[in-house]
Amino acid sequence: MRRAVLCIILAGVIPSSLAQSQVTRYVRYERAGTTAIGVLEGQSIRELSGTLFSNPRPTGRTVRLDEVTLLAPVEPKKVIAVGLNYLSHLGERPAAKYPGLFAKMPTSIVGPGADVIYPDDATNLHFEGELVVVIGRRAQNVSVADAPGYVFGVTCGNDISEREWQRTDLQWFRAKASDTFGPLGPAIVTGLAYGDLLLQTRVNGDVVQSQRTKDLVFDVPTIVSYVSRYVTLEPGDVIYTGTPQTTKAMKPGDVVEVEIEGVGVLRNRIVRRN
């Protein structure tokens, strides 16, 4: 069932109005115990050798999408996130003068279809649908003007957040960085005009967030430039760019979908630990 659903949510044509160049959809997947990367073309994946960031080349092999399990499309060494980056999420708070950054752990990353674990002592777990930037080149102290050249592509993310821990802990380590708190995927898409895409989050089919990425307080080039002033970004690192509007508590059994126009749908179920 899971593979069949993935076939549906990844299919479709990207509107020409969204494309700024050749649009390519990169996926990472598991098949028969082996992990590989490839280019998604309709319901087929064209396998690539090497890594996405070092001249990957076609192997000549293709597999059907319904024969594989999609994984998080990248394995980042650094997972950085921006808070309070839509006016609609600020409430009574004033907009910041610079991006507010925090870190998630690489072990928080899970792929499409993976379960999000609701910790036993959690009481207020929220969704946060977000546009996620994937870095393609080593970036250190880059300018805003040059920053787009360091962006490999974009994908969907869900910055799972435990609000009580976020409010009471000294740091947001538990609240934001716990295992499975960083769903990512289903594909990294290159060639999109990511500055103006519709972002929607659904819980059990009901739309709970809906806003365009043009409404970011700090846009992608500004974020990448700012982060690179303090932390060297490496190929494969990711930046969650912030969530819009208000968020609500989830419960075990809920299915959360983050959909970004031209990118796809990231679907995950909230479950109790076995």
Q: Where are the domains of the chain?
A: 72-272
Q: Is a pLDDT exceeding 60 seen at residue 76?
A: yes
What is the distance in angstroms between the CA of the first residue and the CA of the last residue of the chain?
A: 21
What pLDDT score was predicted for residue 88?
A: 78
Per-residue pLDDT at 55: 87
| Helix, strand or coil, per DSSP, at residue 33 | coil
Report residue 207 as tokens: 């739309």
pLDDT of residue 20 exceeding 60, the answer is no
**Does 96 have pLDDT greater than 90?**
no
Class (C level, CATH) for 72-272: alpha beta
Instruction: State both tokens at 177.
Output: 């960085």
* Helix boundaries (H) for the chain: 2-10, 163-168, 173-177, 220-228
Q: Centre a 10 Å sphere on the Cβ of residue 95 and count the other Cβ atoms it contains.
A: 11
pLDDT (0 to 100) of residue 180: 98
pLDDT of residue 60: 97
pTM equals 0.92
List, for residues 257-267, the tens digit of each pLDDT value: 999 999 999 99
Quote the pLDDT of residue 192: 97
pLDDT score at 227: 98
| The 3-state secondary structure of 191-255, one letter per residue | EECCCCCEEEEEECCEEEEEEEHHHECCCHHHHHHHHHCCCCECCCCEEECCCCCCCCECCCCCE
Q: Which pLDDT score, from 0 to 100, does residue 93 have? A: 72
Name the region of 117 (left: φ>0; alpha: ψ -120 to 50; beta: rest): beta
Condensed to tens digits (0 to 9), the pLDDT of residues 124-174 reads 999 999 999 999 999 999 999 999 999 999 999 999 999 999 999 999 999
Q: Which residue has the tokens 């490839």?
A: 38
- Measured CA to CA in angstroms, residue 49 lies from 43, 59, 67 at distances of 20, 6, 19
Q: What's the rounded mean pLDDT across residues 221-244?
A: 98
Binned at pLDDT 50, 70 and 90, residue 219 comes out as very high
Least confident of 36-40, 49-53, 226-230: 49-53
Q: Is the pLDDT at 44 greater than 50, yes or no? A: yes
Find the mean pLDDT for residues 196-200. Answer: 98
pLDDT value for 21: 66
Beta carbons within 8 Å of 259's beta carbon, 6+ residues apart: 156, 199, 200, 201, 202, 265, 266
Q: Please tell me the distance from the alpha carbon of residue 41 to that of residue 274, in angstroms, as a whole number.
A: 36
